[in-house]
């Protein structure tokens, strides 16, 4: 068994870093063709980075003991924004405790509680979209998913409290989304501390003040077991020793949900619209299913589980255009992988895009075929848009459910035309991959709300 690292490019570390930030897809393809499916990169943040895409390697990574591979440590570049107590940055016992505390609000059965909010927020946004004029659908989808998060996480129905926080979060995302912003993060430089007077640092302080005020407000509320917002459940959660989460822990988890939870889902929805726009047979089948399941009435929670083809469409969109391109693990103890023994200090990068485009797993990977997932449960080591193992994203059920509710609601009432034909280029937006140009569309037709007659009859 060889103990050296897999082969990789010999270019200087700075040049490899620049290529990884600016042209990640092209750089990965070049490395894979030249060095094989497993190769080594030299980037800041670790002694070396070993990229893997094979399901057998993924299984070893995802099932490795928590003290052998650290996932939280590999996400440390997110610390300046999310905070040190975010579940994405924790490892071993700390991560397990936090995951258990956060699991109840995101259990699959709770999605019915949030369905009406998701539908109504989408309906309201659709009513505001201009007809016949180009606009960024990605931006609108981001506004939808952010409002859903604010209502389901905080239970805030008061516009006077919700809108200022939403505006601050959107501005912070725009400030931090540029790829150049990743450069200092690679070297673990906290620009918020280095430049305390910067626009980004000011926004972060304002957001923190607002979040701590909401936490204090929630703590003052009388105990109410009927509340379904995530913040209330966070405050009520206790670990095995009876300890509650601190304000600092709750703040970091709220930022993680607000920033990571809404933007990734909005981007996944944008890709779903983009992927299906040039697939009339797919759209026709979605429409037939909506007619059969929903009929003339509004989309209700009970309908969502019956939209089997739409479920396959969302999974295929996440395969074809995963929002997060990689998952990291930091080697803490010698780890055998693919015939190599990786020493501590090396990082493993599971390349999601590379796995999802393997022709041995997905024949003709560039073709959009929802049938790949129709009536099938995705293999957890072949379909990995939410990661895998004990570190799989807690919000997976929430995100998949929201994607179906929002897409179905839009499709029931609206018809969009892309300004530029699919396929659109992939653009890096912070740590995510989004449609280049923000997915500009024209709303060609908008039907009346299907729920109007039902609500009038009920009244």
- Per-residue pLDDT tens digits for 317-376: 999 999 999 999 999 999 999 889 999 999 999 999 999 999 999 999 999 999 999 989
Question: By three-state DSSP, how is residue 247 classified?
Answer: helix
What pLDDT does 201 receive?
A: 85
pLDDT, tens digit (0-9, with 9 covering 90-100), for 257-269: 888 788 899 999 9
3-class DSSP state for residue 119?
helix
Q: What is the pLDDT of residue 20?
A: 85
454 or 96, higher pLDDT: 96
The pLDDT assigned to 190 comes to: 62
Judged by average pLDDT, the poorest of 18-32, 154-168, 331-345 is: 154-168
On whether the CB atoms of residues 174 and 136 are closer than 8 A, the answer is no
Mean pLDDT to the nearest integer, 377-384: 96
Every domain of the chain and the residues it spans: 78-314+368-458
pLDDT in tens, 192-246: 666 667 887 888 899 999 999 999 998 988 877 677 788 988 999 999 999 999 9
The CA distance from 130 to 117, in Å, is 22
Over residues 408-435, the mean pLDDT reads 91
What is the crossing angle of helices 280-294 and 396-413, to 10°?
90
Residue 157 has pLDDT above 90, yes or no: no
Going by C-beta distance under 8 Å and a sequence separation of 6 or more, which residues neighbour residue 349?
A: 41, 49, 50, 51, 52, 326, 327, 328
Predicted local distance difference test score (pLDDT) of residue 60: 97
The answer to whether 101 touches 93, Cβ cutoff 8 Å, is: no
Question: What is the pTM (predicted TM-score) of this model?
Answer: 0.91
Q: Which pLDDT tens digit goes with each residue over 267-299?
A: 999 999 999 999 999 999 999 999 999 998 899
Average pLDDT over residues 409-421: 95
Distance between CA atoms of residues 400 and 107, nearest Å: 12
Residue 418 has pLDDT above 70, yes or no: yes
Greatest mean pLDDT among 9-23, 35-49, 400-414 lies in 400-414
- Cα distances (Å, whole numbers) of residue 439 to 127, 203, 422: 19, 26, 10
- Write down the pLDDT at residue 107: 73
Q: pLDDT class for 180, splitting at 50, 70, 90? A: very low
Structure tokens at 432: 């995510």
State the pLDDT at residue 90. Answer: 96
- Which residue has better confidence, 5 or 191? 5
Please check whether residue 399 is in contact with residue 387, taking contact to mean a CB–CB distance below 8 angstroms: no
What is residue 283's predicted lDDT score, i.e. its pLDDT? 97
What architecture is domain 78-314+368-458?
Orthogonal Bundle (1.10)
Average pLDDT, the chain: 89
């Amino acid at each position: 068994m060889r103990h050296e690292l897999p082969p990789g490019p010999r270019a200087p570390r700075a040049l490899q870093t620049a290529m990884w930030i600016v042209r990640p897809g092209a750089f990965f393809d070049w490395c894979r063709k030249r060095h094989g499916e497993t190769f080594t990169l030299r980037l800041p943040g670790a002694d070396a980075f070993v990229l893997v895409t094979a399901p057998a390697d993924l299984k070893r990574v995802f099932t490795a003991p928590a003290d052998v591979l650290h996932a939280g440590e590999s996400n440390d570049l997110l610390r300046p924004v999310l905070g040190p107590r975010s579940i994405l940055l924790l490892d071993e016992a700390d991560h397990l405790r936090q995951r258990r505390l956060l699991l109840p609000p995101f259990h699959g059965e709770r999605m019915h509680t949030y369905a009406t909010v998701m539908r109504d927020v989408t309906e309201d946004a659709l009513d505001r979209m201009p007809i016949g004029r180009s606009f960024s659908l990605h931006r609108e989808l981001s506004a939808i998913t952010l409002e859903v998060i604010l209502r389901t996480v905080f239970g805030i129905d008061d516009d006077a409290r919700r809108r200022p926080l939403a505006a601050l979060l959107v501005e912070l995302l725009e400030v931090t989304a540029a790829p150049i912003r990743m450069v200092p993060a690679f070297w673990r430089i906290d620009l918020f501390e280095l430049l305390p007077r910067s626009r980004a640092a000011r926004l972060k302080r304002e957001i923190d003040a607002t979040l701590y005020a909401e936490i204090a407000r929630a703590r003052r509320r009388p105990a109410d077991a009927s509340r379904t917002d995530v913040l209330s459940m966070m405050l009520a959660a206790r670990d095995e020793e009876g300890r509650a989460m601190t304000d600092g822990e709750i703040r970091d988890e709220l930022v993680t949900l607000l920033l990571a939870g809404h933007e990734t889902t909005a981007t996944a929805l944008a890709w779903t619209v983009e992927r299906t726009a040039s697939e009339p047979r797919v759209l026709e089948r979605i429409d037939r299913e909506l007619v059969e399941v929903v009929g003339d009435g509004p989309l209700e929670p009970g309908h969502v589980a019956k939209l089997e083809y739409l479920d396959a469409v969302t999974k295929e969109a996440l395969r074809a255009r995963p929002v997060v391109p990689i998952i990291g693990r930091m080697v803490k103890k010698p780890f055998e992988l693919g015939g190599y023994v990786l020493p501590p200090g090396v990082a493993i990068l599971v390349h999601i895009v590379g796995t999802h485009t393997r022709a041995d797993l997905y024949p003709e990977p560039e073709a959009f075929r929802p049938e790949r997932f129709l009536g099938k449960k995705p293999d957890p080591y072949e379909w990995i848009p939410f990661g895998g193992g004990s570190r799989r994203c807690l919000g997976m059920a929430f995100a998949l459910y929201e994607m179906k509710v929002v897409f179905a609601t839009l499709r029931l009432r609206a018809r969009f035309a892309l300004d530029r034909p699919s396929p659109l280029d992939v653009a890096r937006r912070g740590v995510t991959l989004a449609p280049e140009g923000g997915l500009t569309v024209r709303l060609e037709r908008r039907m009346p709300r299907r729920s109007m007659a039902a609500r009038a009859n009920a009244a």
